[in-house]
């Protein structure tokens, strides 16, 4: 869903500073990071920082569904609320939220603070 959303919005993953992937399963999240070519050093104390094209990107920086919880039916709301909080507190300016859905489907959304404003805008959703 992330790749399809980036194609639709004409953006590249390198434009983002934060990525939240719902961790329904650890292997699924690791597979997504590999597909997106994001390297994460799992032995590093700051596990939430990944490297994308030589640049840092925050990946589930405060823990994902495995650490925080996976509230069935509310995972998307939890994940988006967390990203809005990240942006509102100045920890992110351009973020992607991504969730898996049963049956091999997925959903993704981008959020950012537009350069001309200080408030959040939901940019695209798929």
Chain segment 23-79, per-residue pLDDT in tens: 877 788 888 888 888 887 665 555 566 777 677 788 887 777 777 777 777 888 888
- Reported as type and span, the H/E element at residue 87 is helix 75-88
| Domains of the chain and CATH, by start | 2-125 (3.40.47.10)
| Tens-digit pLDDT profile for residues 109-121 | 999 887 776 665 5
Q: Is 31 helix (H, G, I), strand (E, B) or coil?
A: helix
Two structure tokens written together for 5 = 């959303």
User: Taking Cα atoms as reference points, which of 73, 62, 68, 67 lies closest to residue 99?
Assistant: 73
Picking from 99, 73, 97, the residue whose alpha carbon sits closest to that of residue 86 is: 97
């Amino acid at each position: 869903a992330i790749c399809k959303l980036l194609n639709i919005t004409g953006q590249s993953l390198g434009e983002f500073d934060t990525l939240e992937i719902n961790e329904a399963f650890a292997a699924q999240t690791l597979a997504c990071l590999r597909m997106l070519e994001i390297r994460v050093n799992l032995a590093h104390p700051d596990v939430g920082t990944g490297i994308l094209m030589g640049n840092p990107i925050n990946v589930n920086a405060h823990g994902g569904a495995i650490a925080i919880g996976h509230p069935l039916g509310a995972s998307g709301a939890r994940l988006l609320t967390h990203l809005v909080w990240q942006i509102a507190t100045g920890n992110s300016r351009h973020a992607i939220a991504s969730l898996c859905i049963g049956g091999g489907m997925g959903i993704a959304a981008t959020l950012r603070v537009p350069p001309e404003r200080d408030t959040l805008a939901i940019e695209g959703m798929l």
